[in-house]
Amino acid sequence: MNLDLDLIIRNASIIDGSGCPAVIGDVAIADGKIVEIGTVNGNATRTLDAKGLALAPGFIDHHTHYDAQICWDPLLTPSSWHGVTSVVMGNCGLGVAPCKPDRRHVAVDDLVIIEGMPRSAIEQGLDWQWESFPEYMQSVTEKGIGINVGFLAPITPFRHFVMGDDAIERPANQQEQQQIGDLLSETFAAGALGFATSKLAVDVGYMGKPVASRLASTPELEGYAKRLKDAGGGTIQIALISQTGKLSDYEANLLDRLLTASDGPVVWLCLHTDNNDPELPLRTLEEHSQLIKRGAVPEVCCRPLMIQFNLNSPFAFAHLDCVGPLFLMSSAEKAEQFKDPEFRQIFREQLALPGLVSGDIWPYIQVHGSELAKHQGLIDRSLAEIAAERQVDPLDLMLDLAIESELNINFQFAATNNHETEIGQLLADPRTTIGLSDGGAHADMLCDAGYATYTLGRYSRELSVMSLEQAIKRLTSDQAKLFGIANRGLIKTGYAADLVLFDPDTVGSPKTPEWADDLPGGNRRMITKPTGIEAVLVNGEFLFEQGTYCDTLPGQRIVAARE
């Protein structure tokens, strides 16, 4: 082929994202696209010898919360470090648009409480160059982005935009539904991939109340789903589960009605393995096989859900009714509440009820860090073990330790997803979708943005749960198909040259994140760094090479491919 080539990658082990066996060959790139695969003759502006390395499509992360971070970090780190070349934002119904100027504090409160971002970082980082959602999509991408970005319309700010504070008190009436629906139709016409919402009990935000999308009625959500169908289709994402690994009758019915109304896929989270019943999510797959066959796709995560928390920000227990009001209290007021025997009894009773975090959780919560000398002997020990030694109730122990430290003692909670055999079965099952990185969210508690490299390193190479080719397909073309992302997710002629070059013998990411002081204002967040990633290309340009940023912003906005 006689072309003016920009780049030839030679002698790579090409894993094209289709699931087919890897082949050794060359890939030629021109004008941001893949133009030839196999044995490429001729020359290019640059030639890279990739002998011994694997070349795959860039990973597609469809569950992120970079809606605010994109304003100050166009590279969307740490996801892009790990070979993610496309992300979808707006998940779980949370976001910063649409937003009227006098309601910005509402969006900020939701991000602070739910996503664990420091308030000063958000207030310094957001420039608010938008009011409508189409304006937001244009504003955050037109200045240049490192990787490709697609958008889901988040229902919470849409409800606030129309309903004000009533959005966190009740379902929308007919007139309000019409107004919200009109805004959504405008957003879909501007290229949004679909919409996202939440019914998740832990999603408590502004004013310490359930986020606005949780108040949307089933008929209300059906109306929005019909708007999506009328726009030509798209994907719905919903945060749903009331109990780890299991759908309630209400949740199954809601999925059924959204599928009927939208005639498209509904991605729901999530299937985590339960600490007390690790096979529960596998049974759920079979119990709801017909619903899943129609397009109700459960999200699964490859990593144990390891939450670091302190009781000054008690997000781990936000699903309990008694905890919601704590988010409006000062540290001193929280400490007084924790001393109250009546509060402790209510906390204990609500924790005993079936739910996302419930039952005997104390063997899974360890003391992680404290500045008090008297606490040093407790580090890395479980609350169950310490409580048994002291002959006290573990809930009382946790609250007493928090009070002693003025709420500065940190705990680590292995909340769910701690059983690799069952996790591996979920990851390899084509009825599920791998994701739930939550990139950009919960920055003070966890960082799962390295889920793709972790999948390759742990579940493909070390545990042989699935072949490298199968794992790549699950992380690339399967994601593109599910979210209607055209011309990405495969190494194929004519497709965008979104590529990741890696060493299959070393690719991976650690279980434990690290701290970085790189948020606006020098605020802290948790990050995770990859191993084995040699280069990341976006639309044919190098974004990172051997871990070094290449001073480019080649990302593009992903627009829904509708008829």
What is the rounded distance in angstroms from the CA atom of residue 24 to the CA atom of residue 463?
A: 25
Torsion over CA: 58, 62, 65, 66 (sign): positive
Yes or no: say if 67 and 130 are a contact pair by the CB < 8 Å rule: no
The pLDDT, as a whole number, for residue 47 is: 97
- What is the average per-residue pLDDT within 151-170? 98
Residue written as token pair 């928090």: 402
Predicted confidence (pLDDT) at residue 359 exceeds the cutoff of 90: no
Backbone phi and psi for residue 367, each to the nearest 5 degrees, phi listed first: -70, 125
Q: Dump pLDDT digits (tens) for 60-76.
A: 999 999 999 999 999 99
Length of the chain (residues): 563
The pLDDT, as a whole number, for residue 304 is: 85
What is the rounded distance in angstroms from the CA atom of residue 71 to the CA atom of residue 108?
A: 14
The pLDDT, as a whole number, for residue 563 is: 58
**Which residue intervals of 190-265 are DSSP H helices?**
218-230, 249-262
The pLDDT, as a whole number, for residue 356 is: 67
The pLDDT, as a whole number, for residue 533 is: 98
User: What DSSP state is assigned to residue 20?
Assistant: P
- What is the average per-residue pLDDT within 193-218? 93
Predicted confidence (pLDDT) at residue 494 exceeds the cutoff of 60: yes
Predicted confidence (pLDDT) at residue 429 exceeds the cutoff of 70: yes
With vertex at residue 469, the alpha carbon angle to CA 465 and CA 474, rounded to the nearest 5 degrees, is 75
Mean pLDDT taken over the chain: 94
Yes or no: say if 183 and 161 are a contact pair by the CB < 8 Å rule: yes
- What is the average per-residue pLDDT within 131-150? 97
What is the rounded distance in angstroms from the CA atom of residue 72 to the CA atom of residue 224?
A: 31
Find, among 527, 339, 509, 342, the residue nearest to 442 by Cα: 527
Predicted confidence (pLDDT) at residue 316 exceeds the cutoff of 90: no
Find, among 220, 226, 446, 132, the residue nearest to 316 by Cα: 446
Q: Dump pLDDT digits (tens) for 26-49.
A: 999 999 999 999 999 989 999 999
Q: Dump pLDDT digits (tens) for 5-31.
A: 999 999 999 999 999 999 999 999 999
Residues contacting 321, CB < 8 A, separation 6+? 350
Domain span(s) for CATH 3.20.20.140 in the chain: 59-304+423-487
Predicted confidence (pLDDT) at residue 2 exceeds the cutoff of 60: no
What is the rounded distance in angstroms from the CA atom of residue 53 to the CA atom of residue 57?
A: 13
**Confidence at 245, pLDDT banded by 50, 70, 90:** confident
3-state helix, strand, coil in the chain (%, to 5): 40, 25, 40
**Confidence at 3, pLDDT banded by 50, 70, 90:** low
Predicted confidence (pLDDT) at residue 1 exceeds the cutoff of 60: no
Yes or no: say if 204 and 313 are a contact pair by the CB < 8 Å rule: no
Element (DSSP H or E) covering residue 297:
strand 296-300
Predicted confidence (pLDDT) at residue 305 exceeds the cutoff of 90: no
The pLDDT, as a whole number, for residue 276 is: 80
The pLDDT, as a whole number, for residue 244 is: 74
Residues contacting 86, CB < 8 A, separation 6+? 58, 59, 60, 61, 147, 148, 149, 150, 480, 485, 488, 498, 558
Residue written as token pair 């339960």: 274
- What is the average per-residue pLDDT within 465-479? 98
- What is the average per-residue pLDDT within 204-209? 88
pTM, rounded to two decimals: 0.91
Out of 3.30.360.10, 2.40.50.100, 3.20.20.140, 1.10.260.40, select the CATH number for domain 59-304+423-487.
3.20.20.140
Radius of gyration of the chain (CA): 23
Torsion over CA: 173, 179, 183, 188 (sign): positive
Element (DSSP H or E) covering residue 421:
helix 420-428
